[in-house]
């Protein structure tokens, strides 16, 4: 049985600023989760915090490549060092982001590990969005948290996609994408690349536990695999505290079952959690739900000789939790009301500047010209909330 080691990676360098006078709040996520005794409840070792560079877009403009690229690259090397040390010690890293750009650090660590043992390491990418924007399918790039899967598979600028000459960190055939929405903007690009996907509708049909088993089978030729979880895979009805909420996601119980099925094998080398934004969770309700989900989902790692999930039978739902303050969707804390011209999700590349920009009006803070996620009605037509969980009817 491997001991869990919790490492904070509170980088927000891969997101656009939410307003002209603020920075992305996901940097606060590790602290918010620790406040709910995550380490104690996991019986994990505290592996500390890797402090990121300062968030400062400066005078970035379209054509400059990914914003904060130099800082993200340096942070990725340091993060890979920390993750590698945990794995080499025989422990299971649980990395608390931060935005999705931390995948470059974990990807670099997994590439190093695969090279050291003479094998390839795979990736299970659990995310509400494919994050597959790159110069080959977009007019310009800019926000690494919307481009992390593309960069991790070798697409994009070399200073991020090929750190230490290790390009790609994960081969296309060694990646499984779970939980994207059925109409994801880059779904056809994933298909053309040969990257296997299971969007939410198919995941629901097969069930979370069977989907986890299926994902493991797809990576059976790998020496191991890393798990990336962006909490925006959850439906905004139960998890609105993210930078780009998108209707049609899964429920907390489904995420628990999926996580439990993915980690219940020695081939799973570690997991990262990203994009939770405590700025949208003033009373800590959603942080408590995430912690409860992680404790339940990682329970196989804390149980010696735990059996692998059955490829046929769906495991029983986890034990009921104490009633949550969220008894109905109407009880959700409101997100800031959108302005008449609301900015697009912050994973968009930074917008173009005006021909004669002024220092007080940098274009990266303006509304984006290419909205990446459309505001559509939720694909979940009917549901009820039972003790804080969304149950689809």
Q: How big is the chain, counted in residues?
A: 393
Model confidence pLDDT, tens digit, residues 262-319: 999 999 999 999 999 999 999 999 999 999 999 999 999 987 434 443 433 444 443 4
Supply 127's token pair. 């995310």
pLDDT tier, 348 (very low <50, low <70, confident <90, very high otherwise):
low
- The pLDDT assigned to 155 comes to 98
- The predicted pLDDT at position 303 comes to 76
Provide mean pLDDT across the span 220-232. Answer: 98
CA–CA separation, 175 and 3 (whole Å): 26
| Bigger pLDDT: 24 vs 356 | 24
**392 strand-pairing partners:** 383
Dist. CA 161–CA 213, nearest whole Å: 29
170-192 pLDDT tens trace: 999 999 999 999 999 999 999 99
Q: What is the pLDDT of residues 94-142, one digit of tens each?
A: 999 999 999 999 999 999 999 999 999 999 999 999 999 999 999 989 9
The pLDDT tens digits for 1-19 are 899 999 999 999 999 988 8
Sign of CA dihedral 26, 75, 350, 189: negative
Q: What is the mean pLDDT of residues 46-68?
A: 93
Mean pLDDT of the residues in the chain: 84
Q: Is the pLDDT of residue 368 over 50?
A: no
Domains of the chain with bracketed CATH: 4-304+344-352+359-392 (3.40.800.10)
- Would strands 92-97 and 4-9 be described as parallel, antiparallel, or unpaired? parallel
State what percent of residues in the chain have pLDDT above 70.
77
The mean-pLDDT minimum among 30-44, 69-83, 230-244, 376-390 falls in 376-390
- Whether 27 shows a pLDDT value over 60: the answer reads yes
The confidence score (pLDDT) of residue 70 equals: 96
Confidence at residue 347, expressed as pLDDT on a 0 to 100 scale: 62
Strands 389-392 and 383-386, how do they pair? antiparallel
Say how far apart CA 312 and CA 114 lie, in whole Å. 31
């Amino acid at each position: 049985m491997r001991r869990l080691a919790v490492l904070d990676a509170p980088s927000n360098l891969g997101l656009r600023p939410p307003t002209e006078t603020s920075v992305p709040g996901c940097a606060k996520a590790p602290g918010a989760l620790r406040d709910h005794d995550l380490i104690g409840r996991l019986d994990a070792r505290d592996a500390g915090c890797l402090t990121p560079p300062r968030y400062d877009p400066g005078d970035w403009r379209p054509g400059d490549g990914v914003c904060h690229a130099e800082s993200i690259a340096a942070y990725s090397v340091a993060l890979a060092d920390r993750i590698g040390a945990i794995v080499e010690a025989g422990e299971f890293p649980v990395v608390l982001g931060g935005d999705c750009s931390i995948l470059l650090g974990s990807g670099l660590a997994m590439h190093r590990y695969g090279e050291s043992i003479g094998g390839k390491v795979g990736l299970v990418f659990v995310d509400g969005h494919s994050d597959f924007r790159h110069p080959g399918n977009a007019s310009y790039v800019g926000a690494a948290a919307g481009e992390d899967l593309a960069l991790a598979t070798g697409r994009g600028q070399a200073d991020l996609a090929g750190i230490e000459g290790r390009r790609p960190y994960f081969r296309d055939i060694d990646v499984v994408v779970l939980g994207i929405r059925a109409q994801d903007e880059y779904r056809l690009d994933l298909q053309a690349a040969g990257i296997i996907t299971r969007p939410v509708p198919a995941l629901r049909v097969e069930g979370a536990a069977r989907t986890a088993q299926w994902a493991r089978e797809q990576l059976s030729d790998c020496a191991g695999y890393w798990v990336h979880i962006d909490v925006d895979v959850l439906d905004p009805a139960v998890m609105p505290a993210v930078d780009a909420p998108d209707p049609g996601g899964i429920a907390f119980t489904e995420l628990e079952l999926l996580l439990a099925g993915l980690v219940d094998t020695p081939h799973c080398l570690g997991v990262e959690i990203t994009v939770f934004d405590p700025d949208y969770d003033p009373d800590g309700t959603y942080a408590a739900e995430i912690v409860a989900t992680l404790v339940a989902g990682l329970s196989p790692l804390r149980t010696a000789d735990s059996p692998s999930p059955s490829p046929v039978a769906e495991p029983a739902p986890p034990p009921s939790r104490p009633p949550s303050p969220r008894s109905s969707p109407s009880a959700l804390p409101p997100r800031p009301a959108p302005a008449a011209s609301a900015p697009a999700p912050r994973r968009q590349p930074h917008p173009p500047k005006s021909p004669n920009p002024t220092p007080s009006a940098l274009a990266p803070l303006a509304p984006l010209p290419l909205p990446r996620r459309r505001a559509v009605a939720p694909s979940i037509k009917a549901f009820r909330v039972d003790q804080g969980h969304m149950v689809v009817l």
